[in-house]
A and B are shown apart, each in its own frame.
Chain A
Amino acid sequence: MQDTSHTDSAVDGRGYAHPEVLVTTQWVADHLNDSSIRIIESNEDPLVYRAGHITGAVEVDWARDLNDQVRRDYLDQPAFEALMRRIGVDHDTTVVFYGDRNNWWATYAFWVFQLYGHTNAKIMDGGRQKWEAEGRELTREEPRVTPSHYVAPKRNDAEIRAFRDQVLRHVESERPLVDVRSPQEFRGELLHMPDYPNEGSLRGGHVPGAKNVPWASAVADDGTFKEAARLREIYESTNGLSPADDVVTYCRIGERSSHTWFVLTYLLGYERVRNYDGSWTEWGNLVGVPIETGA
């Protein structure tokens, strides 16, 4: 599934289905000069990278680099190819993502990279929070990057991305959905955030049948992912999911749900998980679809 040539033995023993997708901060610190690895920082706050980043890390910004600037969509094939060339990534380069907000945007970038099949990809467990808490070095020096000759394949949305009509059929066939937003958003008490109508919705609530498992349920206090046994308790014992399920995750715009998509797919080994990036900003405004409110 993923690159197994660069694995971190410190992640073994935590029970993950695909431990090869996670590396520790120590592993990253030990590989700063490894030319086969490109460290990528993806943040919510656009100031954070330039204020100090891991030596050699390049920035991939969710709004500037990953989103199409005209349509509500992700970057197209030429744009992805240009991005990979700019950040010096070849097909055999292992990319390691990290970022602020407990790796929200790192997992989001990871997910977009998987739309283009770049499976040599990992997440630094704990993200910036853990790196900083450990007092590790940050620099403001721009890395020198030699552009690559990356040739991008056609984007494949079919496997890990869900669209609204697919979600409607998913609801009608009573397959599981995971709403990773806050309980207030899930219950329909928040239509949009105060002073921020741009990501608002006409109606509050959730997609019928969805389970509310906030994304942060998967994260320990130090920002790392919880061990697999604890994750199974949360997603399976408490919320009734099963690795054989066909699961759709969603939030408001698809970034928080990419975090849960990562957990279910790689840490727990679910074979069919799709992220509905239209999420509540689409579903809550969509004509002709049902919603539910309350807990």
Chain B
Amino acid sequence: MSGLDDVADTLELLDRNDRIDFLIDIADRFHEVPGEIATRPFGDEHKVPACESEAYVWATGRTDGTLDFHFAVENPQGISAKAMAVLLGEHLSGAPLEEVEALDGEIVYKIFGRELSMGKTMGLMGMVSMVASSAKKAQTRIA
């Protein structure tokens, strides 16, 4: 089980306010993509489709073939997107590519609960999907 699953399992046990406070603490650790990787205006190919928080995802390769993930969130109200970015970046950077590729969008519900609106869910699942597809592409290149 990955560290991301551990966090999701922990969050599932918390009540609404504790879960929200936990996620806000995570979002406070958000660091935007370093300037040496990307600068504004960010390319559309890195933009998460249907994400109202205007999130962007980049994947850079490590020498061992795994990936580092970097994010930008342009909407200052995109607190959930920032929390998601921190969790994905901290737990999947350097992780085995097959583990990243196998990431399931359902984890969004485990992390944020099932009360999310359609729009919010779409954006967060879009972030998960872009990270997973980056791992799939990297695997394809290796193969």
A binding-site residues for B, Cβ under 8 Å: 43-48, 50-51, 61-64, 100-101, 128-129, 132, 193-196, 198-199, 252-253, 255
Given contacts A46-B20, A47-B80, contact A193 B117 (CB under 8 A): no
7 smallest beta-carbon distances between A and B, as pairs: A47-B79, A63-B115, A195-B125, A199-B118, A100-B77, A51-B79, A51-B24
Please tell me if B17 contacts chain A, counting CB pairs below 8 Å: yes
Q: A64-B115, A195-B105, A195-B129 are in contact. Are A48 and B79 (CB under 8 A)?
A: yes
- Enumerate chain A residues within 8 angstroms of B52, measured Cβ to Cβ: 44, 101
Instruction: Tell me the residues in window 117-143 of chain B with beta carbons closer than 8 Å to chain A beta carbons.
Output: 117-122, 125-126, 129
- Which one, B23, B24, B50, contacts A193 given CB within 8 A? B50
Query: Most A CB atoms within 10 A — which of B20, B79, B116, B122?
Result: B79
Residues from chain A with Cβ under 8 Å of B83 in the complex: 47
A50 touches B118 (CB 8 A): no
Pair A45/B16 contact, Cβ less than 8 Å: no
Of the candidates A48, A64, A193, A198, the one whose C-beta lies within 8 Å of that of B77 is A48
9 additional contacts, CB 8 Å, given A50-B20, A252-B118?
A44-B119, A47-B27, A48-B79, A51-B79, A61-B115, A194-B49, A194-B125, A195-B105, A196-B121
- Beta-carbon contact of B122 and A193 below 8 Å: yes
Q: Check A132/B50 contact, CB under 8 A, given A47-B20, A64-B115, A195-B122.
A: no
Q: Which residue of A lies closest to B52 (CB)?
A: A101
The answer to whether B21 has its CB under 8 Å from any CB of chain A is yes
**A47:B24 contact, CB within 8 angstroms:** yes
B34 interfacial by beta-carbon distance below 8 Å: no
B20–A132 CB distance below 8 A: no
Decide if B77 touches A132 in the complex (CB within 8 Å). Answer: yes
Residue of A nearest to B50 (CB): A193
* Contact present for B77 and A45 (CB under 8 Å): yes
Contact across chains for A194 and B16 when beta carbons are under 8 A apart? no
Q: Mark B1-34, 1 if CB is under 8 A from A, else 0.
A: 0000000000000001100110110010000000
> Which residue of chain B has its CB nearest to the CB of A253?
B118
Distance of A194 Cα from B21 Cα, bound (Å): 29
Between B17, B21, B120, the greatest number of chain A beta carbons within 10 A of the residue's beta carbon is seen for B120
Given the known inter-chain contacts A51-B79, A195-B105, please indicate yes or no for A45 contacting B120, CB distance below 8 A: yes
Number of interface residues of B (CB under 8 A): 30
Q: Could you pull out 10 A-B pairs where Cβ atoms are within 8 angstroms?
A: A44-B117, A44-B120, A47-B27, A47-B79, A48-B77, A50-B17, A50-B21, A101-B52, A132-B77, A195-B122
- Nearest residue in B to A63 (C-beta to C-beta)? B115
Question: Is A45 touching B79 in the complex (CB atoms < 8 A)?
Answer: yes
Instruction: Find chain A residues with CB under 8 A from B16 CB.
Output: 46, 64
**A284, chain B: closest CB distance, angstroms:** 14
- Does B41 make an interface contact (CB < 8 A)? no
Complex interface residues of chain B between 48 and 76 (CB less than 8 A to chain A): 49-50, 52, 76
Q: Are B122 and A132 in contact (CB under 8 A)?
A: no
A195 to B124, CA, bound (A): 10
CB distance from A36 to the nearest CB of B (A): 28
Q: Smallest distance from the beta carbon of B33 to chain A beta carbons, Å? A: 21
**Contact between chains at B77 and A196 (CB < 8 Å):** no
- Residue in A closest to B25 when the chains form the complex, CB atoms: A51
In Å, the complex CA distance between A129 and B21 comes to 22
Interchain CA distance A245-B59 in the complex, whole Å: 54
Chain B CB within 10 A, most for which of A47, A100, A196: A47
B110 CB, min distance to chain A CBs, angstroms? 15
Give chain B residues whose Cβ lies under 8 Å from the Cβ of A51. Answer: 24, 27, 79
Docked Cα-Cα span, A61 to B116, in Å, equals 11
Partner of B116, one of A46, A100, A193: A46
The smallest beta-carbon distance between A148 and chain B, in angstroms, is 22
Q: Is the CB of A46 within 8 A of B115?
A: yes
Separation of A252 and B118 alpha carbons in the complex (Å): 10
B129 neighbours in A (Cβ, 8 Å) = 195
CA distance A14 to B121 in the complex (A): 36
Q: Which residue of B lies closest to A67 (CB)?
A: B115
